Amino acid sequence: MEGQSVEELLAKAERDEAEKLQRITVHKELELEFDLGNLLASDRNPPTGLRHAGPTQEAELRALARDNTQLLINQLWQLPTDRVEEALVARLPEPTTRLPREKPVPRPRPLTRWQQFARLKGIRPKKKTNLVWDEGSGQWRRRWGYQRARDDTKEWLIEVPGNADPMEDQFAKRIQAKKERVAKNELNRLRNLARAHKRQLPSAAGLHPTGHQSKEELGRAVQVAKVSTASVGRFQERLPKEKAPRVSGKKRKFQPLFGDFAAEKKSQLEMLRIMNSKKPQLDVTRATNKQMREEDQEEAAKRRKMSQKGKRKGGRQGPGGKRKGGPPSQGGTRKGGPPSQGGTRKGGPPSQGGKRKGGLGGKMNSGRPGLSGKRKGGQHQGGKRRK
Amino acid sequence: MRPLTEEETRVMFEKIAKYIGENLQLLVDRPDGTYCFRLHNERVYYVSEKILKLAANISGDKLVSLGTCFGKFTKTHRFRLHITALDYLAPYAKYKVWIKPGAEQSFLYGNHVLKSGLGRITENTSQYQGVVVYSMADIPLKFLK
């Protein structure tokens, strides 16, 4: 009995062994191709069992996958291993399959200005040595960069040239020149980049004064100039009829919904005050212009009447004499009037503007010569000139 | 919903001031509470602070209206005053026009008023002045320019 059980056990062990082996070893007609760098196994065996195209392929597919994976792992076990922090790691070889490009091929960059020039002239880069002998320090130094051989900004003695201002700081001048060269280089580099990507430098938009700029370019230049202040154009004054610049690009920022109510009220009242204070001044100018026009029409009518009377009486002297006396006195009263009231006019209430004397300060003197030119008769002009 | 910007406030005040002039500051600065103007969907609402705080709890797309609608800003940012503002313009109106009862009905239906239908009018009203039209019983009817 026990012997039988022992035999049974042994047989069972053997069977288990065989099963295991069977599981591990997989028989394939064609060997698989392995790319262990990518953990890839390619099976070229024809899939004969899977041609039925029925719904019950699941088990066969699964078996196939298991077999192929088993083969791949068998291969992995044969690789040289490392021990990394208590874990056994297989060292994968280099991948042999070439993966396709992720992104498209880069376009050839346009040549920079120097490259174009060099190509045109046939200039080739000369091979230069890295180190140069520096006499001053008595050692080999690099051609450019940190602690270079001939750094003219580091000299301790500079002779002032004959034609230069003796008070000028030559050291500062050299440092300034260096800074300018660096800035110029940077600008050229950015320009080359912009040309390569066919984009405009933000500072260059419309800012090349050629004398033939279009209206849009000038507008753009004005916009850029307006924004190029320390407060980014926030406190720039506008011309009387110029519209506020449209905020472009970034999102508009509004006041918060429950801001300070008192402050809001105050600013609104202030705005109202300004609006109300501005209103009367326009009315004053309008009223005075209207008044002056009426007066001039009256005077024109009067003069025409007087000239007719003069013709009838005969001789230019009479009317001329009369006219001599007439206009100066009128002009005198008028000219005497405004200066005293001109000072009060602008600040005063609107009612003052309606009155005659108050309004004539600014416009009257300029109005006179033009009006005299409009007189119909030559006699009138003669009368004026005689004065 | 947001407060008005400087530009928008100026445009709106100019429009309202055509009807009520300097009395506008009585609308802005009220003794009986803080009232403010808020913009929502291009319309301007005149609302008390209390109601504004309640309205802030409603999401913007669900909020239809709050307080009194004074008017709206058109696409080209001009301000158009609506009839709902009449209640606030009428008490402060500078120039008023009263219409006789006979012409009132026709006027309300949109027809012009003849000179015979005009009852009273404040003196010194210049041509093209903004006025508020009342019926003989002192009920404000419209505001016109």
DSSP letter for each residue of A248-270: -SSPP----TT--HHHHHHHHHH
| Res A86 pLDDT > 70 | yes
Q: How many CB atoms lie within 10 A of CB A339?
A: 9
Average pLDDT over residues A214-243: 84
Q: Does B3 contact A264 at a Cβ distance shorter than 8 Å?
A: yes
Q: Is 50 exceeded by the pLDDT of residue A231?
A: yes
Q: Residues of chain A with pLDDT > 70: what percent?
A: 72
- Partner-chain contact B10 A254, CB within 8 Å: no
Pick B25's closest partner by Cβ from A256, A258, A269: A269
pLDDT range class, residue B46, cuts 50, 70, 90: very high
> Which position has the token pair 């039925």?
A52
Q: Is A142 helix (H, G, I), strand (E, B) or coil?
A: strand
Of the listed ranges A142-151, A198-207, A218-227, B70-79, the least confidently predicted one is A198-207
Band of residue A237 on the pLDDT scale cut at 50, 70, 90: confident
Q: Give the whole-angstrom CA distance, residue A169 versus residue A158.
A: 10
Question: A with B: how many residue pairs have Cβ under 8 Å apart?
Answer: 49
What's the distance, CA A103 to chain centroid?
Answer: 30
Put simply, whether A272 touches B (Cβ < 8 Å) is yes
A149 alpha-carbon distance from chain centroid: 41
Angstroms from B67 CA to nearest CA on chain A: 15
Check A275 against B1: CB less than 8 A apart.
Answer: no
Cite the beta strand spans of B4-145 per DSSP E.
35-40, 43-48, 68-73, 79-81, 96-99, 118-121, 131-135, 140-144
Instruction: Name the closest residue on chain A to residue B34, using Cα atoms.
Output: A261
Record: contact B49-A261, CB cut-off 8 A: yes
Is 0.95 surpassed by the pTM of this model?
no
The confidence band for B109, taking pLDDT boundaries of 50, 70 and 90, is very high
Q: Which of A259, A269, A272 lies at the smallest CB-CB distance from B3?
A: A259
Distance CA A140, CA A129 (A): 11
The label of the residue with tokens 């699941």 reads A58
| Rounded Cα–Cα distance for residues A286 and A294 (Å) | 13
Residues of A in contact with B38 (CB under 8 A): 257
Asked if B92 and B26 count as a contact pair (C-beta separation under 8 A), the reply is: yes
Residue matched to tokens 């035999």:
A7
In this predicted structure, the answer to whether residue A236 has a pLDDT above a threshold of 50 is yes
Structure token pair of residue B106? 């026709």
Nearest-CB residue to B36 (from A244, A254, A261) = A261
Name the pLDDT band for A354 (thresholds 50, 70, 90).
very low
- Mean model confidence pLDDT for chain B: 92
Taking residues A343-371, report their average pLDDT. 43
Q: Residue B119, SS3?
A: strand
Task: Report the gap between the CA of B130 and the closest CA in chain A (Å).
Answer: 16
Q: What is the pLDDT of residues B94-107, one digit of tens each?
A: 999 999 999 999 99
pLDDT value at position A201?
A: 67
Q: Where are the alpha helices (DSSP H) in A346-377?
A: 350-354, 356-359, 361-373
SS3 A378: helix
A83 DSSP 8-state letter? E
Q: Identify the CA nearest to A224 among candidates A244, A203, A239, A245.
A: A203
Residue A15 — very low, low, confident or very high, per pLDDT cuts 50/70/90? Answer: confident
Q: Count Cα neighbours of A227 within 13 Å in the Cβ-side half-sphere.
A: 12
Split at pLDDT 50, 70, 90, the class of A346 is very low
Give me the pLDDT at residue A329, please: 42
Q: Which of A193, A192, A219 is nearest to A205 (CA)?
A: A219
The CB-side HSE value for A323 (13 A sphere, CA atoms) comes to 25
| Helix segments in A130-260, DSSP class H | 170-196, 215-227
Could you tell me whether strands B96-99 and B131-135 are parallel, antiparallel, or unpaired per DSSP bridges? parallel
Q: What is the mean pLDDT of residues A82-91?
A: 87
Q: Which of A11-25, A184-198, A202-216, B45-59 has the highest mean pLDDT?
A: B45-59
* pLDDT at residue A349 greater than cutoff 60: no
Shortest distance between the Cα of B12 and any Cα of chain A, in A, equals 11
Which residues in B lie closer than 8 A to residue A268 (C-beta atoms)?
9, 13, 28
- Residue indicated by tokens 């000139």: A385
Would an 8 Å CB–CB cutoff place A268 in contact with chain B?
A: yes
pLDDT of residue A341: 42
Mean pLDDT of chain A: 77
pLDDT in tens, A181-217: 999 999 999 988 888 887 766 666 656 667 777 888 8
Choice between B29 and A200, residue whose per-residue pLDDT is larger: B29
